[in-house]
Amino acid sequence: MTAPDTDLTARLAFLTEADRLKLVDRASRITNNTRCENSAEHSWHLALYALVLGDLAGPGVSTDRVIRMMLLHDLVEIDAGDVPIHSAAGQAHASEATKAAELAGAERIFGLLPPAKAAELRALWDEFEEGETPDARFARALDRVQPVMLNLINDGGTWNDFEVTREQLETRVGAKVMRGAPALWLHLKGAIDAWFSRNHP
């Protein structure tokens, strides 16, 4: 009888746990406006954003590393949940309580993996959270842009729900996107300005 492969068992346990990200609903609605997207869908979509828009990244950015960050960045929401950036709770998005919940989630979820793989993936998650490397700045820019696209497609979406102003959008989203993908934000500004002019003249 063959001894169980504990390394493979651990990796499969992590992948099974990751499936629970499909149960975490976000505020943003999918393009036909019939339901909210879940965090797993969001992560997949961001990986695709990185693949398709990688040429907009700054010098030295590794699209492959950004794709990996996108697939991992929201796994902690299995434990911590999603906090919409424009909600009242979202104003405490970087609060100590939120950070603590996400850190605890990272410890538990990445801790399911064998030690070497856990350290590798946790390092990517930490890099994204810190947001200081070129790869992380680009990844975080994409993370801000994807909901903007859904809101534009859904005639305001969560901007209507949370009564977002143009100034708030620039501060909470635009400034972050400009750090990692300025050409992308400048491209979107026309559509954003047009929406706010129509709806909040």
The pLDDT tens digits for 135-190 are: 999 999 999 999 999 999 999 999 999 999 999 999 999 999 999 999 999 999 99
Question: Is 115 within the bounds of a domain?
Answer: yes
Give the pLDDT of residue 189: 97
**Residue 126 pLDDT exceeds 90:** yes
The residue length of the chain stands at 201
Tell me how far apart the alpha carbons of residues 80 and 200 are, in angstroms, rounded to a whole number: 34
**What's 119's domain CATH number?**
1.10.3210.10
**Token duo for residue 25:** 């609903």
What is the percent of the chain with per-residue pLDDT over 90, rounded to a whole number?
89
Q: What is the mean pLDDT of residues 26-46?
A: 97
Q: What is the mean pLDDT of residues 42-47?
A: 98
Question: What pTM did the predictor assign?
Answer: 0.94
Q: What is the mean pLDDT of residues 41-56?
A: 98
1 pLDDT band (50/70/90 cuts)?
very low
Alpha helices in 19-87 (DSSP H): 39-53, 63-72, 77-80
Q: Dihedral, CA atoms, 18, 38, 45, 66, nearest 10 degrees?
A: -50
Residue 128 CB: number of other CB atoms within 10 A? Answer: 23
> How much of the chain is in helix, strand and coil states, percent to nearest 5?
70, 5, 25
Question: Is 1 within the bounds of a domain?
Answer: no
User: Where in the sequence is the domain holding 119, given as residue range(s)?
Assistant: 6-199
Question: Is 67 within the bounds of a domain?
Answer: yes
Contact indicator for 75, 128 with CB cutoff of 8 Å: no
95-112 per-position pLDDT tens digit = 788 889 999 999 999 999
Question: Is 23 within the bounds of a domain?
Answer: yes
Give the pLDDT of residue 42: 98
Question: Is 36 within the bounds of a domain?
Answer: yes
Number of domains in the chain: 1
